[in-house]
Chains A and B, each alone.
Chain A
Amino acid sequence: KAGVTQTPRYLIKTRGQQVTLSCSPISGHRSVSWYQQTPGQGLQFLFEYFSETQRNKGNFPGRFSGRQFSNSRSEMNVSTLELGDSALYLCASSLVPGQGGTDTQYFGPGTRLTVL
């Protein structure tokens, strides 16, 4: 079974631009979560989607948004990019929302975003 795929793997943008990242979950998984990883802040939860609905959102400004499609694929968008948005963005999928039991989150390789 194919794992979580994220595209693109690397991205370079300039301040003020916007960016869209894509995540395809493991086949059959309906929940997708996004995390931001930076050297300073570590791994931080962005948001979680299940059945095309945002279930939970982390403490990030409104410039960060996401959505989920009927095939469970998800996109996240960052508008008006800032230098501090440079990070590795990780997507994780699970069968159902929440963590624990059999609902293990499986992570993709991430998208490395650099903002110049």
Chain B
Amino acid sequence: AQSVTQLGSHVSVSEGALVLLRCNYSSSVPPYLFWYVQYPNQGLQLLLKYTTGATLVKGINGFEAEFKKSETSFHLTKPSAHMSDAAEYFCAVSGPPGGSQGNLIFGKGTKLSVKP
């Protein structure tokens, strides 16, 4: 069975500081990994995804994540936080497309606050 653990339900950073949101996964098949962002009263927006190939994945809004198989991690980073980054972030895992584990399994989410 697949699962996702996001360390820290709340993270607070100062504007301009590094953002690091942690995600560890468990999967019995080669994982596909995702980070989504949710702003208040909105749906989820895909930030980035890892399927195969390069382990450092760049996404929108300056975010990136690195797939580390040995550590079963897929942490999300951004060098310099902006006030507009304040939102809730979800890490998700799925199996390869077309398989029985093709649906998204989400972590509990990390709420990011950005202080001026």
Interface of B (DSSP majority class) = loop
Interface of chain A residues 67 through 116 with chain B (CB within 8 A): 90, 92, 96-101, 103-110
| Residues A108 and B43 in contact, CB atoms below 8 Å apart | yes
Q: Mark B27-55, 1 if CB is under 8 A from A, else 0.
A: 00000101010000111111001010000
The interface residues of chain A lying within 8 Å CB-to-CB of B102 are 56, 97-100
Q: Mark B74-116, 1 if CB is under 8 A from A, else 0.
A: 0000000000000000101011111110111111110000000
Q: How many B residues have CB within 8 A of the partner chain?
A: 28
Residue of B43, B51, B96, B109 touching A42 (CB-CB under 8 A): B109
Complex CA gap A70/B43 in Å reads 25
- Contact-residue bracket for chain A: 20 to 34
The interface residues of chain B lying within 8 Å CB-to-CB of A90 are 43-44
Q: Mark A30-49, 1 if CB is under 8 A from B, else 0.
A: 00010100000011110010
Complex CA gap A106/B43 in Å reads 9
The interface residues of chain B lying within 8 Å CB-to-CB of A98 are 94-99, 102-103
- Please name 11 further chain A to chain B contacts, defined as beta carbons within 8 Å, in addition to the given A90-B43, A99-B34, A101-B97, sorted by A numbering: A33-B103, A42-B107, A42-B108, A97-B102, A98-B94, A99-B32, A99-B97, A100-B51, A100-B95, A100-B102, A108-B43
Write the residues of chain B forming the contact surface with A, with a CB cutoff of 8 angstroms. 32, 34, 36, 41-46, 49, 51, 90, 92, 94-100, 102-109
In the A-B complex, list the 5 residue pairs whose CB atoms are closest, starting with the nearest: A98-B102, A98-B97, A107-B43, A99-B94, A43-B106
22 contacting pairs across A/B (C-beta < 8 A): A33-B103, A33-B104, A42-B106, A43-B90, A45-B103, A48-B103, A58-B103, A90-B43, A92-B44, A97-B98, A98-B97, A99-B32, A99-B34, A99-B94, A100-B94, A100-B102, A101-B32, A101-B51, A104-B49, A105-B104, A107-B45, A110-B42
Write the residues of chain A forming the contact surface with B, with a CB cutoff of 8 angstroms. 4, 33, 35, 42-45, 48, 56, 58, 90, 92, 96-101, 103-110
